[in-house]
Structure 1
Amino acid sequence: MKRTSTEQAFFQRKLANIAVPEQPALPPGVPQVAAPPLENLVVCAPLPDAITEEEIIALADQLVGQRAPKKSRKYGERVELGDVVEVDLLGYFEGRLLPFSARKGLEVTVGEGDTLPWLDEALLACAVGDSLQLASENEGGTVHWLVDVTKATHHARPDRESAEYLALLDKKATSLEAAMEEVAHMLEHERVLEAQDEARDLVIDALVDRTVVDVPAALIDEEIRRDWARLEEPFLRSRDFGPEELREALDGWLRDAATRVEAERRLRLALALRAIAQQEGIVFDKEAMGLMVNDAKTRFGLKPATMKKALDDTNVVTQLMGLGMHLRTLQFVMDRATVTSA
């Protein structure tokens, strides 16, 4: 008999004491939607790319770097090649905050140049605690950046042929070749998961295309506003942005065409899944609970203790129940879709 996990058992006890309607009334302004048909829901997903030797080595180096001894540089200490540096960023274009440019604690490995190439070289000339003013070119002109170097960590990366490298990569491996084979297996597993995610996204796109609804612009605005309030507003407030500056930052998100398309897609999907759940009689059962627990752990990195503390808040539990229903209904759709390979 399959045992119930500690987290799931805890959820069961918590949820048993909370009365949440299976299908709560839609808020004002949210349109009713007919459940889209699931017949002949067929998508063609590309096969995973073949794994290259360069990718295996890169992942091995990454794993060793994560496990290698680390030393945090002190305030005023110079940054060196190979350091992992955390920076706070604000980008301005034509005197206005560039949408999505505000980043707190962005990690950059100095010398790799794969995150922001224009920042890489500048970091070698600075120290922890420095503030920089830099510029980069985009299609429309020059972006001016305010950069604060908040942290730098030195990683003692051993030579790839050394015994220390092998020990950090895989303590049980008897040779570097055997350790690299395990890394290749990890990559293969990642590719399978990526392929599953891509197939799911294609099914979602097909489902959204079948959903007949006109999503009000005000609803899209509210969806974007919630994202902005969660992802950007706290950082801007910590930088003493005033009401007008905050409004200008939000307006940048609201005007972005790609952001509006993605927000509408999420809303159409949510409405479609709600309608399907209602039509098919899907409820928040043990399967939905299990999906919710696993998704919360993997998506947000929540530990059992953190999850248990969060569940003392009824609003959090209600939101998680909604997440569970969303995942349960999406799995219902995936079980009825056909995914072919290109």
Structure 2
Amino acid sequence: MKVTVEKVDDINYIISGTVENSVIEDKVAKLKEEAAKKPNDEKSTDENIEQDAAGQVFQDFISAGIKEGNLNVENLLGQPGLKKYEQQDDSIYFEVEVAVSPEIDVDIDYKDIAPTYTKPTASPEAVEAKLAEFAQKQAPFTKLDEPKPIENGDVAVIDFTGYINGKPFEGGSAEKFNIQVGSNKFIPGFEEQLVGMEYGEERDVIVTFPKDYSADDLAGKEAKFVVKLHEIQEQKPETIDDAFAKKVLNNETATVETLKKQFAEQTTAEELSQIYMRELKPKIVEALLEKFDFTLPNNIVEQEIDAKVREKTRGFSEEQHKAYMEDKGKFKELRESVRDEARKSIKLALIVEALAKKEGIDVHEQEVIAALGYQATMTGQDPQALLKYYQDNNLMTSAKMGLTEDKLFGHILGFHKA
């Protein structure tokens, strides 16, 4: 194994060199020897053994490069980026890019980037509207006095069973299920097909799951739901009085004024959140990117470009995917179109990580779970299903980074003092 290390700049390095075929062959032989000692149900195929051997040799090559370049393993960022793989007569040539953490000067004064803003104050009209909406939502559902066909906006009580290719699928059925027609909280096209149903009527509803549906086994597939309507329900608003306030706040001393004060605080917080997302956060991001200057890790930027390309092509048709795969120039153009965005994303992440560490800002796992639960509730999703989706798709780290960013920006804006 021959390895050389070239320093590109202050944090990026290219590890290049060759690994003789005999080294890989020896590794394969050793793994096969180990596999032969295992029970039959634990043995690997020759193909898997060869893949494992190649992976181990590649890791040995990286380790040799790190040692040759005298690089600190603890300072390495992300996964090594494979730039070149070339099969030669008696060896394999590798070219790999690695990077160490950049030096970010967190001691510079950055608090001056905080944009000025006026803290909103909830108007009496906004509080009254919020309270009335809440009272409506708190009202119990009751069966309509007179049966009628389903109209848009009605809350229907239905049974349904879903089928794909004639077979019921897991999680696709329910009894006495409440659904508000027109809320767009169910699969696209489902609610519209309920309009006009009569009490006791049974109807087939044909829909197609979105391509980006959270359950991979259902994404993009056509399904038939057999739906039966039991009844339509309505909510009659609660009377907003002291008794209502006592019940809602679970406090015998509560009054309507106590409830209004709480809703005023909630409305103010929501208005401030909107200002933050719409105006303040973009200004802070732009200012931080301009304030700090350091070298970016090339391998991480390339991996971020890969992620953004996958995101852009997720909705592509088979023909579009084929066109990009066959036209290298077109694919390169697509990658370059997201490069600047990827660089900014990585730069911001590194800045936030460094400043959060300096300010002692941390986000615990329970905070992430609570935030996802709130997100699910506000968007009409199942909190447990959303959490599982994030866990299964390795998105928890990304969610934690988002919360850390908001905590840091709140610190810069002085929200914690408000």
Query: Could you tell me the TM-score, scaled by structure 2's length?
Result: 0.39
TM-score of the two chains, using structure 1 as the length reference: 0.46
Structure whose alpha-carbon radius of gyration is higher: 2
